[in-house]
Amino acid sequence: DQQVKQNSPSLSVQEGRISILNCDYTNSMFDYFLWYKKYPAEGPTFLISISSIKDKNEDGRFTVFLNKSAKHLSLHIVPSQPGDSAVYFCAASYNFNKFYFGSGTKLNVKP
Amino acid sequence: DGGITQSPKYLFRKEGQNVTLSCEQNLNHDAMYWYRQDPGQGLRLIYYSQIVNDFQKGDIAEGYSVSREKKESFPLTVTSAQKNPTAFYLCASSIVQNSNEQFFGPGTRLTVL
């Protein structure tokens, strides 16, 4: 029973355009959400996070939006760069306990 | 440089053999975690440890064992009881369990022949 879902296994975007990666969750107890970026044969690296008391968090080109009523979060990358090409995982936790990860979305930014 | 190391990067074993994956961190983190990644699936938690000499089962602990004798080390043993051990294994650590960020190692790809 997957509590965090990323329904798009892949996404292709032109350089300079916006990339939107989506994530849905089922557990209303989740109060912290994170996005990780992963290159092949490497471990994931932390990208950005958001607490459930917020609906938006921005860090440079990366913005995460949280819609608690829809149990949905999204990661926006603007403008997208070829170096952003990687697999992006969303993760969720409650009370900073175990983290639950989605299956990942592979982003390809075309030059 | 501080970080998490996992060795080896690639590991091959015969079916029925136990194998131990290494995870070492010099970040002085209290908590350490083991995840498994399979194609098309997210990271699934195998075991985690909040403090030395203590650890808890994650969601898929069957067929695995761990130890936490030192703060910086959290080895994972994949036993012969694990029905489908071929996977990519990731180790992570965080300052304390109640941390908003986990730092990951580079992973070990285990293939059981």
pLDDT tens-digit map of A53-99: 999 999 999 999 999 999 999 999 999 999 999 999 999 988 766 78
Q: How close is the nearest chain A Cα to the Cα of B105, in Å? A: 5
Q: Pick A103's closest partner by Cβ from B9, B41, B105.
A: B41
DSSP-based three-state secondary structure for B59? coil
| Predicted local confidence at residue B41, as pLDDT | 79
Please indicate if any CB of chain A lies within 8 Å of the CB of B31: no
Phi, psi angles (nearest 5°) of residue B111? -120, 125
CA distance A17 to B27: 37
pLDDT at A64: 98
Q: Is the predicted pLDDT of residue B2 greater than 70, yes or no?
A: no
User: What was the pLDDT predicted at A66?
Assistant: 98
Contacts of B4 in chain A (CB under 8 A): 43
Shortest distance, CA A81 to any CA of chain B (angstroms): 23
Share of chain A above pLDDT 70, in %: 97
